[in-house]
Structure 1
Amino acid sequence: MAPPQRNISESKGQWPSGIRRRSLLAGVAALGAAGAIGGTSGCSQVPTADAKDGGHLLERLRAKGSVTLGLAGEQPYSYIGRDGKMTGSSPAIAKEIFKRLGVPKVEPFPTDFGSLIVGLNSQQFDVVAAGMYINPERCAKVIFADPEYQMLDAFLVRKGNPMKLHTYKDIARTGAKMATGVGYAELDYAKEAGVKDISTLPDQLAGLLAVEQGRVDVFVGTAVTVRNVVRQSRTTKAEATAEVTPLVDGKPVIDVGGFAFRTPETALRDAFNRELHKMKKTGELLDLMRPFGFKKDQMTEITAKEKCRP
């Protein structure tokens, strides 16, 4: 993902009224603190799977009564709120699906986005719940459930968009200074378009501050991420552009995000998929995701198999 924050009730998944930048900053600080704790004590103790029969992780999680989720601190996908609790669309989905699978408790393990796959495969946590974009490179390292959403990009620019940045080609043509998140897919899209001046920042809040202060001309992220940080911060110095469709080899790309599992754990992935598809059919998935800024046109029937093809 671009794949790569806010304060939503973990139980109800709703935006509090009057959220301000102080709340956003508190959430980011809480993420760092929780990550430091998780690095020493949040490590999953569930053994690795038996690759021969799809693994026994689900049985072990049921016996344990809990599952540990790898989070990346990116709103609206997964992050730690100012109350110190995990929130976001992915934890909300995980909580519901794992409850249906007989695992009543979900626990967070915050980490950097770029460390999620490594952390998963080293058994620091059981599942990546961060809205991670599905692509062939990642599919070579982990297995994905079918995606829960599809997403285009958007730009965070100074108020009035003085450099008229509406496409990646515009960024390249004007020589604008661009920033995005570490490990975000937008890095590759920008390079594909010929953008030269690219830096990385921890999250979209840092991106907003960099744009407001003139340190960069544009911060690039997923459309829902960029729009949410503008809305939550109530900034008067920056704005979100319309959705931007990235191009690869001249062809438009629509990204999709989903949950990632260790490669041997096909039994758990398949059980997760069955519940996910039930929720798509009934509309429950959109109901869970809507409070985090997702809309009906961001729901998708694309499969992980399709996006894993080279």
Structure 2
Amino acid sequence: MAPPLGNDKGSIGRGFSRRSLMAGAAAIGAAGTLAATTGCSRVSNADSKKGGDLLERLKAQGTVKLGIAGEQPYSYIDKHGELTGSSPAIARIIFKRLGVPNVQPMPTEFNSLVPGLNSQQFDVVAAGMYLTPERCEQVLFADPEYQMPDALIVRKGNPKNLHNYEDIKKAGAKFATGTGYAEIEYAEEVGIKESEMLLLPDQLAGLLAVEQGRADVFAGTAVTVRNVVHQTKTRKAEYTKQFVPKLDGKPDLGTGGFAFRPAERNLRDAFNDELLKMKKSGELLRVMKPYGFLEEEMTDITAKERCQ
């Protein structure tokens, strides 16, 4: 989640309150409305050059537009109206090295990220988006920065003894997760119908739903779940031990990364080259660690491997 002040300064888990998280959510909503009403004016002409010429155009402009969805700690607007999160922190470093010194946030709903990217409302999705087969057919992914198990938010003491999706199904517990989250598919894998789910905008809404008894459990990525519980200092809820969900009967450790338009292979490849350097030097972990990521959550898997 957001550092206290400034450009990605400070450590995650310091100086946060429920009020600050709600303020950040309000800021993202307001900015998202602005993006939606002005997006058409930002549409650029599609290039026909092999591999795309977007990188050259971004260098000339000096600014890259980042599609974000307000999910902490991946990318969001904090209570001071500043862009923060692990993805913007990575984007600032890589794009500066590519000759693009400025980043501009373009907030939208998670489900609108891929359509917004492909309609050229922004240049890249910087939201820690999971690589899935369906998304791999629609966008061009950079190699993932992280791999992530899931975890659950439950009431204090975990009265229903919920530790994974099978437990939730068996107990008939009221299940909640985020709109567009991969956790929807993981829950469907064990027989929980989407029509039975409570779909919420983010993990803070999930925590509140559990606290208020509107849901028995909220599922999200382990980093998102543990961060919101720590930062709100809730006394009514807790997070469970992380676990690896299943998809198509096999363990599925989600991986997240940046997404580009399919025509912009040159930009994606240049981005990947810089990302690989950050991985090899350990810089990527140093950048992501303040946002709650752990060393064991880093990954060397490629987008090609994941998409296959």
Same fold per superposition (TM over 0.5):
yes
Closer, same or farther: CA 6–212 of 1 in aligned 2, 3 Å: farther
Task: Confirm or deny that 1:181 pairs with 2:178.
Answer: yes
* Residues 68-83 of structure 1: pairs in structure 2 closer than 5 A: 68-83=65-80
Task: Confirm or deny that 1:129 pairs with 2:132.
Answer: no
Q: How many residues align?
A: 304
1:14, CA displacement in angstroms? 2.3
Q: Which consecutive residues of structure 1, in runs of 5 or more, have no partner in the other structure?
A: none
1:216 equivalent in structure 2: 215
SS at match of 1:300: coil
* Residues 260-299 of structure 1: pairs in structure 2 closer than 5 A: 260-299=259-298
Q: CA RMSD in A?
A: 1.3
Q: For 1:97, which of 94, 104, 108 is the aligned residue?
A: 94
Q: Which consecutive residues of structure 2, in runs of 5 or more, have no partner in the other structure?
A: none
1:259 equivalent in structure 2: 258
2:136 equivalent in structure 1: 139
CA distance in 2: counterparts of 1:274 and 1:46, whole angstroms:
25
CA distance in 2: counterparts of 1:276 and 1:141, whole angstroms:
22
1:286, CA displacement in angstroms? 0.6
For residue 74 of structure 1, what is the amino acid of its counterpart? E
2:151 and 2:239 in contact (8 A); partners too: yes
Closer, same or farther: CA 258–8 of 1 in aligned 2, 3 Å: farther
1:198, CA displacement in angstroms? 1.2
What is the CA deviation profile of residues 240-259 of structure 1, one whole-angstrom value per residue up to 9, with x for unaligned ones?
10002111232111110000
CA distance in 2: counterparts of 1:183 and 1:236, whole angstroms:
28
1:40 equivalent in structure 2: 37
1:187, CA displacement in angstroms? 0.2
2:4 and 2:16 in contact (8 A); partners too: no
Closer, same or farther: CA 76–270 of 1 in aligned 2, 3 Å: same
SS at match of 1:150: strand
For residue 302 of structure 1, what is the amino acid of its counterpart? I
2:191 equivalent in structure 1: 194
Q: For 1:15, which of 11, 25, 41 is the aligned residue?
A: 11
For residue 44 of structure 1, what is the amino acid of its counterpart? R
CA distance in 2: counterparts of 1:6 and 1:177, whole angstroms:
30
CA distance in 2: counterparts of 1:308 and 1:94, whole angstroms:
22
Q: For 1:154, which of 129, 151, 155 is the aligned residue?
A: 151
1:233, CA displacement in angstroms? 0.2
1:13, CA displacement in angstroms? 3.8
CA distance in 2: counterparts of 1:48 and 1:88, whole angstroms:
29
1:230 and 1:239 in contact (8 A); partners too: yes
1:23, CA displacement in angstroms? 0.4
For residue 140 of structure 1, what is the amino acid of its counterpart? E
CA distance in 1: counterparts of 2:269 and 2:47, whole angstroms:
14
Q: For 1:110, which of 99, 107, 111 is the aligned residue?
A: 107
CA distance in 2: counterparts of 1:195 and 1:244, whole angstroms:
18
For residue 142 of structure 2, what is the amino acid of its counterpart? A
2:225 equivalent in structure 1: 226
Closer, same or farther: CA 44–7 of 1 in aligned 2, 3 Å: farther
For residue 303 of structure 1, what is the amino acid of its counterpart? T
1:152 and 1:246 in contact (8 A); partners too: yes
SS at match of 2:42: coil
For residue 168 of structure 1, what is the amino acid of its counterpart? Y
CA distance in 1: counterparts of 2:27 and 2:248, whole angstroms:
40
Closer, same or farther: CA 85–100 of 1 in aligned 2, 3 Å: same
2:47 equivalent in structure 1: 49
1:6, CA displacement in angstroms? 4.1
**TM-score where L is the length of structure 2:** 0.96
CA distance in 2: counterparts of 1:130 and 1:167, whole angstroms:
25
For residue 222 of structure 1, what is the amino acid of its counterpart? T
What is the CA deviation profile of residues 281-306 of structure 1, one whole-angstrom value per residue up to 9, with x for unaligned ones?
11111111000000110110001011
For residue 305 of structure 1, what is the amino acid of its counterpart? K
SS at match of 1:244: coil
1:65 and 1:103 in contact (8 A); partners too: yes
CA distance in 2: counterparts of 1:109 and 1:25, whole angstroms:
19
Which of 10-19 and 150-159 deviates more? 10-19
2:55 equivalent in structure 1: 58
1:45, CA displacement in angstroms? 4.5
1:241 equivalent in structure 2: 240
